[in-house]
Chains A and B, each alone.
Chain A
Amino acid sequence: MLEGQARIPSGCAIAGIIDKTGKRMSGEAIIKAITVMRDRSNGLGGGFAGYGIYPEYKDFYALHIFYDNIAAKKNCEEFLERHFDIINLSKIPTRKVKEITDEPLIWRYFVTPLNTKLSESQLDEREFVARCVFRVNTRIDGAYVFSSGKNMGVFKAVGYPEDVGRFYRLEEYEGYCFTCHGRYPTNTPGWWGGAHPFALLDYTVVHNGEISSYDANRRAIEMYGYKCTLLTDTEVITYIFDYLHRKKGLTLEEIAAVIAAPFWQTISRMEPEKRAVHEYLRNVFASQLITGPFSIIVGFEGGLMALNDRLKLRSMVVGEKGDKVYVSSEEAAIRIVEPDLDRVWFPSGGEPVIVRLNGGAESGS
C-alpha cells in the first residue's frame, strides 16, 4: 500500500539545531545527532531541512522535485516553464549509498514566478507558488514537489536518516538551521514523498506522534484550499501552520495557543486580558486544535519553533550552548554534538520554544 492510500501511524525521532546569530554550520552535526537515535527509526523514512543553504539564490524559490520517470519530468517542466522564470536547474547531487535504493529522479529548480502569470492570478507571490505546488502534486502524475521555499531545502528518502544524510551529501551544505527526522511507520510506505520533513514554502515540519484529531483537522483545513494527499499527520500540521501563520496572520505564540491549547481550567485561572485572548483563539480556531501525542519542530525563514502536545505525550528536550539551540527527542542526541551545554530543559506540554535569528530562545519556563 502506498503513501496516500491509507493512513499510516508512525513513531519517530526528531532533532533540530539553530544558530541564533545566523552563522552557518555544515550538515555534519545534525547527522551526528540523529544517528544516536537510530532505535527510534525503522529505516522507512528519514530527512532533513536546511535553512540558509542557498545564499547565492536567496531571492528565488528552490523547488526540490521527485520524478517517477522522464515523462513526469517533462510534463512538470512544461508546467514550470509556463508559470515561472527558471534561473537554474540541476540534479540534486547524491552519492551512492548501499542502504538507499529505488531512488526516483531528484531535481532542483531555482525559480521566480512569471510577472504576467502572477498579476493575472491576482494572488500574492507566496500564494501563487503554493498553489503551483499543489497543482503539480495533485495533477501531474509521477511528479512531487517536496520543498518550495527560498534559501532553504528539504532532503528526504526512504531509509535511516543518517544514510539519507550521506546520500544527499548533507555535510557539503551550510546553513544556520537544520531539522531532522527519523521515521518509524507501522507499515511500509515505500514512497520517498512520505518521509519528513514535510514542507510548504519555507515552512517545514518534523513530527513525532500520532494525532487523534487528524480527520477533524484534515476536513477543516481542506475547506481552505489545501488538499491532503498523503494522509499523514505531518502534512496536515504543516498546512495548519501555513494557514494560521501565512493566511490568518497569527503569531507563533498564538499558533501554539491554538494547536496545543491550554486547558480550560488553566485558562480560567489567567488574568482577564490573557484569558480573553485564549478564549477567543480556542473559539475561532477550534478546528485547528490538535490532540493526541506529538512533538514537532517547525522550521521557517529566520527561526524555528518546537512544540509538544498539550499533555506532553512525547519526549522533547531543549539544550542551549552560546548562540546555538538544540532540540531533540532525546538528550543523548544533543550531548553527542555538544557535551557541555549551558542549559537543558524539558518544555511543558503546549509551551512553545521559539528561536528567532538574533533573538533568544523564548520559553515560558
Chain B
Amino acid sequence: MAVNYLYPEYEVVRNYDRCIVCRVCERQCANEVHQYLADANKMVCDDSKCVNCHRCVALCPTRALKIVKTDNTYKENANWSNKTINEIYRQAESGGVLLSSMGNPEDFPVYFDKILINASQVTNPSIDPLREPMETKVFLGSKPKSIERDENGKLKNNLSPHLTLSMPVMFSAMSYGSISYNAHESLARAAEELGIFYNTGEGGLHEDFYRYGKNTIVQVASGRFGVHPDYLRSSAAIEIKMGQGAKPGIGGHLPGTKIVGDISRTRMIPEGTDAISPAPHHDIYSIEDLRQLVYSLKEATNYEKPVIVKIAAVHNVAAIASGIARSGADIIAIDGFRGGTGAAPTRIRDNVGIPIELALASVDKRLRDEGIRETVSLVVGGSIRSSADVVKAVALGADCVYIATAALLALGCHLCRSCHSGKCNWGIATQVPKLVKRLNPDIGYKRLVNLMKAWQHEIKEMMGGMGINSIESLKGNRLMLRGVGLNEKELEILGIKHAGE
C-alpha cells in the first residue's frame, strides 16, 4: 500500500570517486544498509535501513561516506511536521505504541544553557588549580544530627554509611542486558580507577564484576531481577529505582530475544522470557511502604550500606523528595525528563516529566526550608552533558550528578537512538557477540577515565575562577549563578538572579 511508504529521514551519500570497494561498510553495518554488487564491482546502499549511527562513516578508510538529512519533504506545515505525519502513518499501519531510545530530543528549554557562572575580579582572588590544591572530593550520605564524644572528650565516629567520591560524578544505572558485557566492564573498571561509582541498573550483577563491588551501586527495581543476598552485600550502595526520567510512571520491558546466556543467569529468569518490570513496585503503593523496603534492604545488609532512592522528576517532586528524606533513605537521586533509556514509548519520553534544573532547585529549597537537607544527599541526572552542567548542578544544590548518555558517547555511541533494535553497531546496546566484541573494554574504560579527568580539570578551573578551592563551598552556592533570558518565575524557582543584577 503506497501510503505505507516512508521516505528515509537520512540519506547515505557515497562519493564513488573515493570508494575503493573495500566492503568495510558492508561488514560493519548490522542493519544491512550497504550491499556489494559483484557484477558492477560497486557498493550500493538502502537508506531506509540506515539508523544514522555513523559506524560506516567512521570506519570508511577513504572518507567516501557521509550521512545527510534528506531534503525530501511533505508540504511544509508548522503544525504537522514530517515527523508527526510519519508517526501517524506508522501507527495506522501497525496499531502499536511508538518506541524510542535515549533522551527526549524535542525542543524544550535547556535551563543549564541559560545559566552563567561567576568569576572573581579584584575584591577576591581567583585561584590557579595548577598551583594550589583544588578539591573535588565529596561524601554522599546522611549527616549525623549531633556530635558525640567518648569519655576522654574525643569525637566519636557516628557517621552513617556513606560513599566517598574523588569527584561529584557517577555513572548512572544501565543494566547488563540493555548494554553489553564489554560496556559494563568498561564502566566498572573506569569507576574503580577514578574512585567513583557505576550502577548495575536492574539487570543483576554479572559474577565477573563482583570484584568491582566497592565501586558498584546495585539497583533494586520493580522486577527485582537479579536481586539476592550476595548481590546486595557485594555493593557499595543499594539503589531503589522508583522511576526513571525517560519514562516516569511506567515500567520496563527487555524482550526475550535479549535474555540469553549470562543475561538470563544474571537476571535469574529463564532464557527467552521477557523481563517485564512493572510500573510500580507492587509492594510500594505509598511512602510508608517505601520506608519498609529501605529498612528491609538495610537489615539485609547489616546497616552497612547507604540506600539511594531514585525517582523521576515529576510535577510534585519537592514534596515527594521530602517524604523520601524522612523514609530512611541516605541519598535521593532525581532523574530529569531528558534522561536516556534503552527503550521507552515515544509519547512518554517526549511528554512526561520536568527539567532536572527546576526539579533540583525546588527539591533543594524544600529540603532546606524543612531543615532536613543534611539528612540526605542529592544526586541528579538527565541530562548532564559537560563539566559546566556539573558545576551549575552543584551550585544549584546537588551533591553529585549521574551521567549515562555522556558515558555511552565516550564509548562510541553516536546517539542514533535505536538502542531498542538491539543491533548497536558500536557494541554498546546489543547482545550480538560479533557486535559486542567491537567495544574493547581496555580502550573503553580508558576513554571513560579520560572524559572524567577532563571534566574534573575543567571543574577545577571554573572553581578556581570563582575563588572556591573545595567543591563543598560550591554546593548550593546559587549566588555564583545568573540566568539569561529567563522570566521572573523561572528565576524564582531556580533561586538565582538575572545576569546584570
Contact surface of A with B, Cβ cutoff 8 Å: 7, 9-11, 186, 209-210, 212-217, 219-220, 222-224, 248-250, 254, 261, 263-265, 276-277, 280-284, 286-287, 289-293, 310-311, 313
Contacts and interface: CB of A to CB of B under 8 A. Distances in A.
Contacts of A10: 123
B467 A292 contact: yes
A311 B477 contact: no
Contacts of A280: 155, 157, 159
Nearest to A186: B123
A74 to B, nearest CB: 34
Contact of B472 (A9, A254, A289, A292): A289
Contacts of B146: 248
B474 A11 contact: no
Given A7-B479, A215-B479, A291 B162 contact: no
Contacts of A293: 124-125, 467
A223 B120 contact: no
Interface stretch (B93-101, B108-116, B130-138): B130-138
A290 B474 CA distance: 10
* Smallest CB-CB A-B distances: 9 pairs: A213-B473, A215-B479, A212-B467, A216-B477, A286-B472, A291-B473, A9-B123, A210-B124, A263-B133
Contact of A287 (B137, B466, B472): B472
A115 to B, nearest CB: 28
Nearest to B133: A263
Contact of B476 (A209, A216, A292): A216
Given A215-B478, A261-B470, A292-B468, A284 B368 contact: no
B123 A264 contact: no
B143 A219 contact: no
Given A248-B146, A277-B155, A264 B476 contact: no
Please tell me the size bucket of the interface on B.
35 or more
Interface of B: 120, 123-125, 127, 132-133, 135, 137, 139, 143-144, 146-147, 154-155, 157, 159, 162, 368, 371, 373-374, 466-470, 472-480
A289 B470 contact: yes
B207 to A, nearest CB: 33
Nearest to A214: B479
Nearest to A184: B123
Contacts of B143: 283-284
Nearest to A215: B479
A284 B144 contact: yes
B147 A284 contact: yes
B139 A286 contact: yes
A281 B133 CA distance: 19
22 contacts: A9-B123, A10-B123, A186-B123, A209-B124, A213-B473, A215-B477, A215-B479, A216-B472, A216-B477, A219-B368, A219-B476, A220-B476, A222-B368, A223-B373, A254-B155, A277-B155, A280-B155, A284-B144, A284-B159, A286-B475, A287-B476, A290-B473
A224 B374 CA distance: 11
B468 A250 contact: no
Contacts of B125: 293, 313
A215 B118 CA distance: 13
Nearest to B372: A223
Given A264-B135, A292-B468, 11 more contacts: A212-B120, A214-B477, A214-B479, A219-B476, A220-B374, A223-B371, A223-B373, A281-B155, A284-B159, A286-B139, A293-B125
Given A248-B147, A280-B155, A283-B162, A264 B467 contact: no
A289 B468 CA distance: 11
A212 B477 CA distance: 9
A11 B155 contact: no
B397 to A, nearest CB: 8
